[in-house]
Amino acid sequence: MTRRNPQQPPAAPNAASLKSASAPRRQMPYLFAYDIGDDRRARQVLRCLQRWRVDGQLSVHETELLPFQARELAAELLDYLDQRADSLLVCRLSRRGNAGPIHALACSPRHPQLVGRKTAVHTTGSLPGGWYLLAYDITDPARLQRIQRHAAKVCVYLQRSVYLYHGAGAPLASLLAILREEIRPGSDDMRLYYFAGPGDLWFPSGPLPPLAGLDGKGTGSSLWQRLMAWLGSG
């Protein structure tokens, strides 16, 4: 057994070891959205997400999670889904510095905060081009149909009331100007979520949208394997 000289001070830890020991892993904003036709399965998924949700809409849930928590939550949700009929998407949102990933056109009090802290929501202003998810809960059926028609002109349909936008800022700004005229603050909820690119948007259950960069060709692994690899790499 090697014994240290009592007069010799212990070796000082290097900067790398101090950083890894003192810096906890940072929680990140993840979005979980689902489209489930069966009421029983929808209730099971909702109960599961309510443990983690900090804000959101009826079937769009904002969370703040560590990567391993997001991975475990996605795996748990798949246990409740019929992967032939139900759609689930997971998106790792981008904070974009101090701007935040979530922009509100209207936030409804019908969707109160459940647990944790409320997710920071910023009003839409001058938005750059890029990747966005548009999600909404609209109370009036006629206005809902009009909003769907407007969104479908420049966005890709993902789920009921969830659309994907990718492109320059001008078409998005024009769409938002139209949608602001349709929504009713206080009763409707409409939010725009920013994410860095297609590598942060995953579909563990349900069809893939017809968009380049999201088909996963040439990866040599299943969609679920790629989801797990992505969640584990954060």
39-48 pLDDT, tens digit per residue, is 999 999 999 9
> Whole-prediction pTM value?
0.79
Lowest-pLDDT range, 103-107, 110-114, 138-142, 226-230?
226-230
Q: Check residue 99 and give its pLDDT.
A: 67
Pick the CATH number of 28-233 from 3.30.70.260, 3.30.70.20, 3.30.70.240, 3.30.360.10: 3.30.70.240
R_g of the chain, CA atoms, integer Å: 21
pLDDT of residue 10: 39
pLDDT band at 154 (very low <50, low <70, confident <90, very high): very high
Q: Are 55 and 104 in contact (CB under 8 A)?
A: no
- Amino acid 101: pLDDT: 86
Over residues 174-190, the pLDDT tens digits come to 999 999 999 998 889 99
Write the Ramachandran bin of 100: left for phi over 0, alpha for psi from -120 to 50, otherwise beta.
left
- Among 198, 215, 213, 220, smallest CA distance to 90 is for 198
**Domain residue extents for the chain:** 28-233
Which pLDDT band holds residue 4 (cuts at 50, 70, 90)? very low
